[in-house]
């Protein structure tokens, strides 16, 4: 059974064969057109709140198509478009082979070099990520654009400095220093777009309330090079690059904005 990926033979255009929901009506990512978004004051009446805690020994792993940090501590979000409390499960990234591409969501058709996803599950209604992953109100994912600057991102530096230790598939390490994922969020989390969508990788479940922040976080070119040095398999395998799904039609979904 051919496993899905981002190549010509197993990439996004082929996923519908094994995952028919790929042709569904609430798929992600989408192109975000700010002028088409409806400013919804309900989003600000009940502001999005983030209550993240420090991770004592955060596990960083290379599952083969991205790099992922698994969260054990109680880090939760609520408010904004969300009903109930959502618990942080993991975060990971998508990036390009060059700065001109890499993000999954686009902004007026523009791709960013990378996009960070912080994945939460509805802990009010479900007892685990696994139970929540295929429920329409199961997940909430923060989408954060990365843009290039001459300074490295300090919060990401604790991770990019050790990526060489998870260069190959199925490698994992523990980040020694205590790590609070709140350092990954942009300064202003009150300006975001939100819509009902899906996982952007198989099984593509239509279970995600997406919250995409307007403010990108800034990373250095060297940090991007560190992501691009990760390998899909063992020593000598291809680098993990262009692990992004291109945007899908918004269809008759409403894109809401938390700001004017």
Ligand X SMILES: NS(=O)(=O)c1ccc2oc(=S)[nH]c2c1
User: Which two structure tokens, joined as six digits, stand for 12?
Assistant: 């996004």
- Nearest distance from C-beta of residue 66 to ligand X, angstroms: 8
Footprint of ligand X on residues 105-134 (CB under 6 A)?
A: 117, 119
- Nearest distance from C-beta of residue 80 to ligand X, angstroms: 17
**141 touches, from ligand X, Zn ion, none (C-beta below 5 to 8 Å by class):** ligand X
Residue 207, interface with ligand X (CB under 6 A)? no
Of 65, 144, 156, 199, the residue at the interface with ligand X (CB under 6 A) is 199
Of 194, 201, 207, 223, the residue at the interface with ligand X (CB under 6 A) is 201
Q: Are 217 and 148 in contact (CB under 8 A)?
A: no
DSSP-H helix ranges across the chain: 15-18, 42-45, 129-132, 154-160, 221-228
Binding part of the chain for ligand X, among 37-45, 154-162, 185-193, 194-202 by CB under 6 A, reads 194-202
What number of other Cβ atoms are within 10 A of residue 17's Cβ? 11
Q: Are 153 and 225 in contact (CB under 8 A)?
A: no
CA 74 to chain centre: 19
- Nearest distance from C-beta of residue 161 to ligand X, angstroms: 24
**Shorter beta-carbon distance to ligand X: residue 55 or 89:** 89
Binding part of the chain for Zn ion, among 37-45, 80-88, 117-125, 153-161 by CB under 5 A, reads 117-125
Question: What do you get for the CA distance between the two ends of the chain, in Å?
Answer: 48
- Nearest distance from C-beta of residue 159 to Zn ion, angstroms: 15
**Shorter beta-carbon distance to Zn ion: residue 117 or 171:** 117
What SS3 class is residue 12?
helix
Phi-psi domain of 141 (left: phi exceeds 0; alpha: psi -120 through 50; beta: other): beta
Q: What are phi and psi of 58, to 5 degrees?
A: -65, 135
Query: Residue 250's closest CA among 59, 5, 24, 88?
Result: 24
Q: How many residues bind ligand X (CB under 6 A)?
A: 6
- Nearest distance from C-beta of residue 41 to ligand X, angstroms: 28
Residue 117, interface with Zn ion (CB under 5 A)? yes
DSSP one-letter string for 112-146: PSEEEEEEEEETTT-SSHHHHTTSTTSEEEEEEEE
- Nearest distance from C-beta of residue 187 to ligand X, angstroms: 22
Q: Which residues pair with 195 in a beta bridge?
A: 210
Footprint of ligand X on residues 16-55 (CB under 6 A)?
A: none
- Nearest distance from C-beta of residue 127 to Zn ion, angstroms: 23
**258 touches, from Zn ion, ligand X, none (C-beta below 5 to 8 Å by class):** none
Q: Are 141 and 117 in contact (CB under 8 A)?
A: yes
List residues near Zn ion by CB under 5 A: 117
Q: Which stretches of the chain bind ligand X, using CB under 6 A?
A: 117, 119, 141, 199-201
């Amino acid at each position: 059974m051919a496993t899905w990926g981002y190549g010509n033979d197993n990439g996004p255009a082929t996923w519908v064969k094994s995952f028919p929901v790929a042709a569904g009506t609430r798929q992600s990512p989408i192109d975000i057109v700010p002028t088409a978004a409806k400013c919804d004051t309900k989003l600000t009446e009940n502001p999005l709140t983030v209550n993240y805690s420090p991770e004592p020994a955060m596990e960083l792993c290379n599952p083969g198509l991205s790099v992922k940090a698994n969260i054990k501590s109680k880090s939760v979000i609520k408010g904004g478009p969300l009903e109930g409390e959502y618990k942080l499960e993991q975060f990971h990234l998508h990036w390009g082979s060059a700065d001109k591409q890499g993000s999954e969501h686009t902004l007026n058709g523009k791709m960013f070099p990378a996009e960070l996803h912080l994945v939460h599950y509805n802990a009010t209604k479900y007892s685990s990520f696994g139970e929540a992953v295929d429920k329409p109100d199961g997940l909430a994912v923060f989408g954060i654009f990365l843009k290039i600057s001459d300074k490295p991102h300090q919060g990401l530096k604790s991770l990019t400095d050790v990526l060489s230790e998870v260069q190959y598939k199925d490698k994992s390490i523990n980040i020694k220093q205590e790590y609070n994922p709140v350092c990954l969020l942009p300064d202003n989390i009150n300006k975001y777009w939100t819509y009902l969508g899906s996982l952007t990788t198989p099984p593509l479940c239509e279970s995600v309330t997406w919250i995409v922040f307007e403010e990108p976080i800034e990373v250095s070119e060297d940090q991007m090079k560190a992501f691009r040095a990760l390998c899909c398999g063992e020593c000598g395998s291809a680098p993990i690059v262009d692990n992004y799904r291109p945007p899908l039609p918004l269809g008759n979904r409403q894109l809401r904005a938390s700001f004017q």
